[in-house]
Structure 1
C-alpha cells in the first residue's frame, strides 16, 4: 500500500517536474523521498541528485540526500528485477548502473537475455528493410528498362543514340539481375533469421 502511495505521488511529481531538472518551485516543494523513488523506478542512477543539487543551489535549497536515497532504494527494488531487465534489454534501453549490488546480478541476467532477443529481432528487421529497399529499386529499374526498350524501337534515333540506349539497357539489366539475386538471397535469409528469432524468443518464455 505504501509503495502504491509513492507511485501516485511520483506520478504527480513527474507531471510537475517534467524532465529531470528542477526550477525554484520544484526545489521548494520537492518530496525528496518520492523523487528518489521515481528516479529509482525509472532506472536512473542515484547520481541524478547531483543535478538536483545544482538546480536548487541558486534557490537556497539543499536536497535531503538520505530521504532521496531511501526513496531511490525502494524504487530500484521494483526496477531491478530479472523480468524488468529482460524488458529493458529487449527494448535496447541503456542501463544506467542504477541497481544496488544485491539486485544487479538478477537484473543483468534478464537484461542480457533481453538483448539476445533484441539482436535476433533486429537481424530480421534489417533484412526485411533491405529487401523492401531492393523491391523499390527493382520496380524503378524495370520501369526504366521498359522506357529504354520503347526508345530503342522508336523512329528517328541515330546510330549513336541507339548504341547509347543499348549501353544503358545492358547496364540496367545487369543491375536488375544482381538486385533480383540479392532479393532472393534475402528471402531465404529472412526465413532462417525468423526461425532463429522464434527459437531465441521461445527460450526466454520464463520471463
Structure 2
C-alpha cells in the first residue's frame, strides 16, 4: 500500500512538472524568444527550450519564433552589435551572417575585444561574474589578466559568502523538515493502530446481531481509512520538501567547493 501511495505521489509530481513546462511553453512570447536565440548567435533548430516544448506537444507559435529569429539575425549581423559582442568579452559567429560583410563584422568585433581586454577594464570584467573566454590578444592579456583575477577573486569570495549564508538557512529548515517527516510518520503509525483496533471491533460486531453497531464500526473504519490515506500523503509531502532542501544544500556544497578550488588558483 505504501509503495502504491509513493508511486501515485511520484506520478503526480512528474505530471505537475510536465504541466508547468507546458504552461511555460504556451505563455512564451515566441517572437521575442526567437529573436533572443539569434542574438546569441545560435540556431533556432537547436534551441533547448523550443525542442523541449515540441516534445511536450505544447501549443507554440512556430511562425512567430521563426520571424523573431530572422529579426534577431538581422540585428546580430550588424557592425554595432559585433562590436558590443566583443566589448562584452564574447565570441562572434561570422558564419551566422550569410550575405553580410563578414570582414567588416570581424574587424568591428576585434575592436570590441580589444576594448574589453584593456587593463582598465580587467577588474570590472572579473567582478561581473562572467568567466574569461580566452579571447584577449597576447599584447593585452598580460595587463588584463592580473586585474581580471583581482575582480574575479572579489566575485568568488562574495559568491562563497552568499552560498554559505544560504546553506546555514537551509540547515535550520532541514532540522524542521526532519521533525515534520517524523511527526507525519508518527501520525500514520497512530492512525494505523486505530485501524487495527477498529478491525478487531468489526469482527466482534459481525458476530453480533446488532446492525446499528455494524454500521457504526464500518463508518468509523471508512473514516479511519481516509485519515490514513491523508496522513500518508502528508508524509510524502514532508519527505518531498525535505528532499528538495537536501538537493539545494548539495548543490550549494558543490558550488562552494568549485569556487574554493577556483579561488586557490587566482
Q: TM-score, normalised by structure 1?
A: 0.48
Looking at secondary structure, tell me which structure has more helix per residue: 2
- RCO greater where, 1 or 2, for CA within 8 Å and sep 6 or more? 1
Q: TM-score, normalised by structure 2?
A: 0.39
